[in-house]
Amino acid sequence: MSHLLQTRSPIDGRIYVERPYAEAEQISAAVAAAKSAQATWQQTSLSERQAICRKAVEWFEQHQDEIGEELCWMMGRPIRYAAGEVRGLAERARYMTEVAADALAPVQVGDKAGFKRYIKKVPVGTVLVIAPWNYPYLTAINSVVPALLAGNTVIIKHSAQTPLCAERLVQAFTAAGVPAGVFQFLHLSHADTEALIKHPDINHVVFTGSVPGGAMVERAAAGRFIGVGLELGGKDPAYVRADADVAHAVETTIDGAFFNSGQSCCGIERIYVHADVYDAFVEQAVALVKQYKLGPSNDPETTLGPVVRAEAADFVRAQVAEAVAQGAVAHINAADFPLDQPGTPYLAPQLLTEVSHQMRVMTEESFGPVVGIQKVYSDAEAVALMNDSDYGLTASIFTRDIDTGIALGDELQTGTFFINRCDYLDPALAWTGVKDSGRGCALSVLGFDSLTRPKSYHIKTEL
C-alpha cells in the first residue's frame, strides 16, 4: 500500500490534500507522549482545562470561513452551508464545557458515623477518537472536549477524506494552550489504526462510522477490557400522522433527508405518511425536492452538492433502480439535474413512492439523496414499520397531539425520539443508538461517564 494519503475532492476529482501516513516510530512516539502528558494534565485544574476549551472554540469561530472552504472541497458540502459546522461545534463544545463541573463532580453517598465516603470520576487515560468525513468536526468534538475536560489525553485519527480536520482541531487546541502531548493527530492506514486500538497504552476508543468498521474496532479491542464507544449506521424513520401540520412536516423531513446530500447517520431515510394526508404530503414534497440545485460545492448557488465519491453515488443509483424494478415510483426526473451522470459523484435527489420493506432502499442504509415514502393506515402500522429495522439511532413523529406522540415514542426502538423535528443533536441530550446503530453515549452530562472511571474513597476518620 502507498504510504501517501491522498484526498480527492468530489467537486472535480483532483487531489486536494496529500499527507504521509504516520510511520511506526511516529505512532509509538505519539502514544508515549500522550501517556506521559496525561499524568500532568489530569492534575491541572478543571477551570484551566475549561479555559483552554473555550479558547479553542474561539479559534474555530475566527477561522470559520477557511474551515468551511476546506470542508467544501474535501467532502462536498455546499459552501453556503459549510461554515455552519463551526456553529454546531461551538454549541456542543461550550455546552460540554459549562456542564463539566457538575458532570465530573464526586458522587456523595451520604454520611456514616466515623467514615468519609465518596466516588471520584477519574480519567481513563489516553482516548483514541476515530472520526468520519460526513460531519468531521461535529462528530469529533462530541468526544474530544469531554475527554480533555475529564483529564484524558486524546489522539485523533480522521477519515482519509477529511485529514485537515484532525490538523485543525489540534491546531486550535494548541493555540489555546493545551500542553504538548495532550492532544495529537495521526494520519493512519486501516491496518495501523487497528494496531493502535490494540496498543496497551490506549485506554478507550471512540469510533464513528460504518457497522463493519465498528465490528473491526470491537474485534481489535477484544480482550483488552477497555471501553469502546460506537456510533454506527442509521436508517432513520419519520411518521406523519393524520393530524400533522403537513407543510411543516414536508419542509422538515425533506431537509432532514437531503441536507448534506443525505450523508448523515441521523438523516431521514424513510417516511411513513397516514393515508388521510398522504397525497397532500407527496405533492408538496415533490415540489420542494424539485427546487434543489445540484452543482459544484464551491458554487454559492448550489443547494445539493456531490456525494463523497462516485462509488457512493452509484450505490444509491443501484438501490433506486432496483426499487423501481420492484414497483416503486420515482417522482424526480434525473434529466432535470444534468450533472447527474453514472460514474460521477453528482447525484440527483430522488423521492420514491409505492415502496415496501421488500426493497433495499427502505431497509439498507442509503447515505445519499434518496427517500422512500410509504402510505400507512394506523399508528400501530407506522410504529411496526419504524421498528422493522436493524438500526435505531433517531425516529420522528409529526403530530399536533403531543401526548399521543410521546406514547408512540415510548414504543419506538431508538436512541433519540423527536416530535415535529428531526436530524438535530441537542448537546443537553444523550446521543446514543440501539441495535446496529451502536452503543455508548456522547453529549449531555452522561457523555462524560464513558470517558471516566469511578474510584471509590472509603476513609475511616475515627480510630
Measured distance CA(59)–CA(449) in Å, rounded: 27
d(CA 265, CA 231): 9
Three-state DSSP state, 267: coil
Q: Which residue has the cell 475549561?
A: 50
For residues 385 and 272, give the distance between their C-alpha atoms in angstroms, rounded to a whole number. Answer: 8
Give the H/E segment covering residue 82. helix 79-82
CA angle, 290 then 346 then 209, to 5°: 105
Q: How far apart are CA 285 and CA 91, in angstroms?
A: 31
Active site residue 218: no
Rounded to whole angstroms, how far apart are CA atoms 282 and 293?
20
Write the DSSP assignment of 97-147 as a string of letters.
HHHHHHHHSPEE---BTTEEEEEEEEE-SEEEEEE-SSSHHHHHHHHHHHH
Q: Which of 18, 58, 218, 231 is catalytic?
A: 231
Q: Is 415 helix (H, G, I), strand (E, B) or coil?
A: coil
What's the chain's length in residues? 463
Q: For residues 282 and 287, give the distance between their C-alpha atoms in angstroms, rounded to a whole number.
A: 9
Task: Give the CA radius of gyration of the chain.
Answer: 23
* CA-wise closest residue to 285 among 299, 297, 273, 300: 273
- List residues with catalytic annotation: 231
